[in-house]
Amino acid sequence: MPINEFRAISLFIRTAGLGSLRRAAQAQGLTPQAASKALAQLERHLGVRLFHRTTRSMALTEEGRRLLESTHPLMQGLEHALHAVRQTRDEIAGPLRISGPRTTLRPLIDALLAEFCARHPDIRPEVVLDDRVGNWVEERVDVGFRMGVSPHEGVIARRLFALQLIVCAAPAYLARHGAPHGPGELGMHRCSAYRHPGTQALVPWRLRHGDEVVDQHVAAAFSTNDEELELGAVLRGEVIAQLAGPTAAAHIRAGRLVPLLPAHVSDHYSVFLYYGSRAAQPARTRAFIDLVVARLAESADHVLTRAELEAAHARGLAGLAPPVA
């Protein structure tokens, strides 16, 4: 139904209830002239008169009474539905669909979701982890996380923090095999390579050389498309790997991992938070975005300073015996 007919029927119902076109116009925010024109257009469209009019009163015709009986319950139901939607928009409750890459997101989102759900127990999180970049509109995503060098088009993006890529090893690995002193020595070590979930190709390590970032292909002694499996192999001392800051930072600070090649740590990627229109966001989405920004924007929890990297590197290599042949 065109919007002018919808407004005309609403005006008709209000006029019938108030018994006055002037008062109905005032209630609808219309001028008397505009209200009279809208009602006349509705009558012409239907081909019947809806009111008997005199200079002092208005009364429904038989056709008007039938139209009122048919439309009034429908309009009430519609008004209730619109009111319910407006209330839902302001409630922090209901489903919250979150998307992000399987790689790297788990360390970021676990604590966030726990805190958010504790604050708002009526929230129903729907978390989809997928390394591919899908269609956010078709997949009904409310909030998403992506890693990259720049925002994707078509959505609003908020940069959270730099994504460091750090070559790491466990102390047990270093005790057996020693440490590479430069990228040229990586070929002598047992390296892990991440396998791209879509193409199945091995993803090269990305190392900083001065102001440039270059791809470093490694001979994989271990490969997987699951970051948790790769982390487990590194922590057990089986391989060295290039890990993302959110995965490695806590282990480096606790001494479970040692950063290698600190001068070559890459930070050209960033972690971005994505969402749709600011104006049309439900309260639950706005509240989650606010929490993410408060906890993660320029967060030091997932980014190591150069001084931290160099100190952890020095501690990890201090007193290492020559590697066992």
Domain end residue (candidates: 39, 73, 90): 90
* Contacts of residue 238, Cβ cutoff 8 Å, sequence gap at least 6: 173, 190, 221, 222
Burial class (CB in 10 A: 0-12, 13-18, 19+), 147: middle
Instruction: Please tell me the pTM assigned to this model.
Output: 0.69
72: amino acid identity, one letter: H
On whether both 54 and 74 belong to a single domain, the answer is yes
CA distances from 104 to 109, 215, 287, 322 (A): 9, 20, 23, 34
pLDDT tens-digit map of 30-53: 888 888 888 888 888 888 888 887
What's the rounded Cα separation, in Å, for the pair 56 and 185? 99
116-119 LR contacts (CB < 8 Å, sep 24+): 116/287, 116/288, 116/291, 119/287, 119/291
Q: Are residues 218 and 234 in the same domain?
A: yes
Decide if pLDDT at 3 tops 50. no
What pLDDT score does 325 carry?
47
Answer yes or no: do 76 and 45 share one domain.
yes
Which CATH number fits the domain that encloses residue 19?
Answer: 1.10.10.10
Residue where a domain terminates, one of 90, 112, 133 = 90
55 burial level (CB within 10 Å; 0-12, 13-18, 19+): exposed
Among the candidates 90, 108, 138, a domain finishes at 90
**With bands split at pLDDT 50, 70 and 90, how would you rate the model's confidence at 2?**
very low
In a domain, 323, yes or no: no
Average pLDDT estimate for 286-307: 92
What pLDDT, on the 0 to 100 scale, is given for residue 88?
53
In terms of domains, do 57 and 132 share one? no
In a domain, 325, yes or no: no
User: What's the CA gap between 151 and 66, in Å, rounded?
Assistant: 57
306 domain residue, yes or no: yes
Q: Within a domain: residue 15?
A: yes
pLDDT(28) > 70: yes
Tell me: do 138 and 265 sit in the same domain. yes
Structural domain containing residue 184: 95-317
Query: Cβ neighbours of residue 21 under 8 Å, at least 6 residues apart?
Result: 15, 32, 35, 36, 39, 58
Q: What is the pLDDT of residue 115?
A: 93
Confidence at residue 227, expressed as pLDDT on a 0 to 100 scale: 87
Task: Tell whether 8 and 136 lie within a shared domain.
Answer: no
User: How many independent structural domains does the chain possess?
Assistant: 2
Q: Tell me the mean pLDDT in the region 197-222.
A: 90
Instruction: Tell whether 55 and 100 lie within a shared domain.
Output: no
Q: Per-residue pLDDT averaged across 103-121, rounded? A: 86
Shared-domain flag, residues 265 and 191: yes
261 is a domain residue: yes
**Same domain (yes/no): 176, 304:** yes
Q: What is the mean pLDDT of the chain?
A: 84
CB 163 within 8 A of CB 147: yes
- Same domain? For 209 and 153 the reply is yes
Asked whether the beta carbons of 194 and 203 are under 8 A apart, the reply is yes
Domain assignment present for residue 244? The answer is yes
Residue 322 lies in a domain: no
Residue-wise pLDDT tens digits, 148-194: 766 566 678 889 999 999 999 999 999 999 999 999 999 999 999 99
Q: Look up tokens 């100190």; give the residue.
A: 311
pLDDT tier for residue 304 given thresholds of 50, 70 and 90: very high
Are both 154 and 301 inside the same structural domain? yes
148, 105 Cβ separation under 8 angstroms: no
Q: What percent of the chain has pLDDT over 90?
A: 41
Domain membership of residue 104 (yes or no) is yes
* % of residues, the chain, pLDDT over 70: 86
Whether 83 and 142 map to the same domain: the answer is: no
pLDDT of residue 247: 92
